[in-house]
Amino acid sequence: MSTMTFGRAINAGLRRAMDDDPKVVLLGEDIGRLGGVFRITDGLQKDFGAHRVMDTPLAEAGIMGTAVGMAYRGYRPVVEIQFDGFIYPAFDQIVSQVAKLHYRTRGAVRMPITIRVPFGGGIGSPEHHSESPEAYFTHTSGLRVVSPSNPQDAYSMIQQAVASDDPVLYFEPKRRYHVKGEVDEAEDLSASDMGSARVVTEGRDVTLVTYGPLVPTARDAAIAASDDGISIEVIDLRSLAPIDFPTVEASVRKTGRLVVTHEAARSGGLGAEIAASITERCFDYLEHAPVRVTGFDIPYPYSKLEFHHLPDLDRILDGVDRVLRRPNSLSGLDMEGPAQ
């Protein structure tokens, strides 16, 4: 067991994956000598060589499309997209090629590609550097989508992603890169499932579902709520596609109330999917309609206003108040009803 930052844990996980399998290769802009703009691949080119840690031309479709070709050849490419907002030029290669080639070839061709995406806001960046595009990819069949929230998961899940024969979008909450935590580097990965959700704190009154960057915020909300005698069960999804619904379902059957929170915009987002799916599965158990606490349906705002957009502890607690029908809701609005 050792203490390391979230970013360092990804580095350690990549290093172990590359040690274990010579077919693992890394492609991306600035990932070699620089070690990536966030230094996640720091030292890997030096230790594994430029043929395994490849600095690429500045072309996202090119990076993704050549990764497809390398996968055809039997390699397991790990692609770094420098920032969330830069993934769109590669969108066609991801959704039309990476996601579909296994299906298209009736299983003959595997696409064991890991796509690392630093995502989310909260670091004061200019536009295109703080987006949460995960729903585009959870909507695409053939892709698996995950997002770790702590150094241990970051370490473990990057190895699981690389080992997966399916393509995996690995969304890294960039504002958590420098958060430290304990990492058991000897963890038996075969004993855990990349697709399983984790119950962060147990509770009996409200189920609070989130992932990635907002997990620590949700946990803080649970601690704050406990001062008011409200018991929140926080679930870290870890996997966004597929979603571990049985874990969420079991929690909601217990609490009868669901709040989902994410940084991404609300409409058509994961919160909508989770609310709808849980309503279908647990309608008779719900005491209140599920509530979403999300980013607004706006382009990601400039940095001085981004904290209005990002759900924080108070907005999450406001959502909790609403499913509990508590009169001290900060907004005082019933979001499900017409505006007065």
Partner 1 sequence: MTQDGARPGSGFTGGDDDAGPASGLVLPGPARPGADEPVQLIDPSGVRHPHGHYDPLVADVDGAALQKLYEDMVVVRRIDAEATALQRQGELALWPPLLGQEAAQIGSGRALRSDDFVFSSYRENAVAYCRGVDLADILRVWRGNASSGWDPYTINMATPQVIIGAQTLHATGYAMGIINDGADSVAVTYFGDGATSQGDVNEAMVFAASYQAPVVFFCQNNHWAISEPVGLQAHVPIARRAPGFGIPSVRVDGNDVLACLAVTREALARARSGGGPTFIEAVTYRMGPHTTADDPTRYRDPNELEDWAARDPLARLATLLDSLGLLEADYTDAVKARADAVAAELREGCLSMPEPAPSDVFRHVYSAPHSELERQQDHYERYLSSFDQPAQEGHR
Instruction: Determine whether 129 is an active site residue.
Output: yes
Alpha carbon 33 to chain centroid, angstroms: 27
Residue with Cβ nearer partner 1 (110 or 288) = 110
Site for partner 1 in 86-115 (CB under 8 A): 89, 92-93, 96-97, 100-110
- Could you say whether residue 244 binds partner 1 (CB under 8 A)? yes
- Could you say whether residue 320 binds partner 1 (CB under 8 A)? no
Residue with Cβ nearer partner 1 (62 or 181) = 62
- Could you say whether residue 144 binds partner 1 (CB under 8 A)? yes
Q: Which range, of 68-76, 227-235, 253-261, 325-333, touches partner 1 by CB under 8 A? A: 68-76
Residue with Cβ nearer partner 1 (65 or 301) = 65
Per-residue string for binding with partner 1, 203-242, x by CB under 8 A?
--------------------------------------xx
- Could you say whether residue 169 binds partner 1 (CB under 8 A)? no
The first and second tokens of residue 290, run together, are: 């599920």
> For every residue of the chain, which 3-state class applies, written as one string?
CEEEEHHHHHHHHHHHHHHHCCCEEEEECCCCCCCCCCCCCCCHHHHHCCCCEEECCCCHHHHHHHHHHHHHCCCEEEEECCCHHHCHHHHHHHHHHHCCHHHHCCCCCCCCCEEEEEECCCCCCCCCCCCCCHHHHHCCCCCEEECCCCHHHHHHHHHHHHHCCCCEEEEEEHHHCCCEEEECCCCCHHHCCCCCCEEEECCCCEEEEECHHHHHHHHHHHHHHHCCCCCEEEEECCEEECCCHHHHHHHHHHHCCEEEEEEEECCCCHHHHHHHHHHHHHHHHCCCCCEEEEECCCCCCCHHHHHHHCCCHHHHHHHHHHHCCCCCCCCCCCCCCCCC
- Could you say whether residue 51 binds partner 1 (CB under 8 A)? yes
Single out the residue of 25, 115, 158, 264 in contact with partner 1 (rule: CB under 8 A): 25
Residue with Cβ nearer partner 1 (27 or 232) = 27
Single out the residue of 195, 250, 279, 312 in contact with partner 1 (rule: CB under 8 A): 195
- Could you say whether residue 47 binds partner 1 (CB under 8 A)? no
Single out the residue of 9, 24, 237, 243 in contact with partner 1 (rule: CB under 8 A): 243
Which entry of 102, 128, 129, 262 is annotated as an active-site residue?
A: 129
* Positions in the binding site for partner 1 (CB under 8 A): 25, 51-52, 54, 56-57, 59, 61-62, 64-75, 89, 92-93, 96-97, 100-110, 141-142, 144, 164-166, 195, 241-246
Active site residues: 129
